[in-house]
Amino acid sequence: MNPTIICTSLAVLLAIFFNVKSFAQAEAGQDALLPPDWDPKAAADSVMVDLVNVCAPEVKGAHDSDLLIVGDKAYIIYMANDVQPSENPRWHFVYNAMSIVDLATREVEDIIPFAATERAYDNVTLPPGSCFVPRLLKIDDSTLRCFFASEAPGERESQAWYIDFNIESRTFNNQIHEAYIITTAGERLPMQPQHYYNDAVRHGFEAPQLDYGVYFIDSFKYFDDKIYAVMNNFPIGQNALIVVEDDMKTFRILGHFNEPNEYRLSEAAIQRMPDGSWLAINRQSGGTQRYTFSKSVDGIDWTVNEYWEMIPASSSSKATFDRFDGVYYLGWQDATEINNVHRSVFNIEISRDGENWERKYRFETENSFQYPVFRQHNGTIYLTATQGDHSNDRKERIMFGVLE
């Protein structure tokens, strides 16, 4: 073959190759959500510097907050106690409180305890026990409904209750009422661990039964004009997707996702993916403690949980899974520890398609950064998280601020 033709052909092939490569790089650049020089740690540092404590001065331990924003106020509920750091369902002195924060000034305007051991309401008195894992549901523009579990492990069956808060008067209705579940068999029963457990056993769940630990761990999320949440039982490792009934006090179990049982999976966070399917990230308290993922087409039948390579060694803690303006935010607790501090690293990955992920935030702090909640309001993403200074698990206060 003519050498000139060979050289010309080679030049054309090289030009095509480099053009294709350049096009691919350009496409990658267009698809990327973050600039090439993005620093996840610096981004997280700028968030943490402006966080404010929302707890009362007398609070010694606090954990597991929930957050709703209505108008220009943030309504934050959480577990607290005035005795010692951390929380425990066996501590009867753990109570629930709401802090109201002005968005513009970040000032705490009110702190209102609303559930505590043996508290007397107009219609019932709570039995002795802790008040655990409160969650918020907006009923209408003037009413927030606060759910919580009253429990005394080994002494009685836990029960989930709710109490309504009036936004205008900033007062709680002095009555509480039982929450209910509807099992997959169609039974409407009080929201208690025994009923949730029995339903899971019908679907292959294998673990010893306990009388406490059932909560709405992933708060409430809206998909297709319906409200969903994850119901879990932490101590034995149960998860189920539930849908909220119209009465806003009854919760229908759609599907359980607990396998493999020996992983002791709990505290899942869920999202709907671009194709309409469901995806759950699950905390693992057994085995490797790595997060696992389960998928479902209909929310009823779920795949056996699997690992993702993207999330290697991780700490046993609650994950987050949100979607803001078409972008998924997946948050997880890294196994890395800063100066041996528990839960001191928390990562947030972002993605448009749920397949290609970029690291947007890496929270690193000796105060810990754990159990965050993210809520978007008027284009701003707000957050709450648990932090502390000196205790082993750093569960001393609830912090509030702006993510972006």
CA distance to 1, 4, 11, 20, 23, per residue, from 14 (Å): 19, 15, 5, 10, 14
Q: Which amino acid is at 269?
A: A
The ranges assigned to domains in the chain are: 38-402
Q: Which pLDDT score is estimated for 193?
A: 98
Q: Which pLDDT score is estimated for 14?
A: 36
Q: Which pLDDT score is estimated for 3?
A: 43
Can you say how many angstroms the Cα of residue 167 is from the centroid of all Cα atoms in its chain?
A: 24
> In sequence order, what DSSP letters do the residues of 341-395 get, joined into one string?
-TT-EEEEEEESSSSS-EEEEEEE-TT--EEEEEEEETTEEEEEEEE-SSSSS--
List Cβ<8 Å contacts ≥24 apart for 198-202: 199/240, 199/253, 199/256, 200/238, 200/240, 200/256, 200/258
Which residue in this structure is represented by tokens 């009110």? 110
Q: Which pLDDT score is estimated for 312?
A: 87
Q: Which pLDDT score is estimated for 31?
A: 83
Cα(385)–Cα(271) distance, rounded to whole angstroms? 20
Q: Which pLDDT score is estimated for 25?
A: 31
CATH 2.60.40.420 is held by the domain 38-402: no
pTM of the model: 0.91
10-residue mean pLDDT series, the chain (404 residues):
41 36 35 96 98 98 98 98 98 98 97 98 98 98 97 98 98 98 98 98 96 94 96 96 98 97 95 97 93 98 96 93 98 96 97 96 98 98 98 98 98
pLDDT cut 70: percent of the chain above it: 93
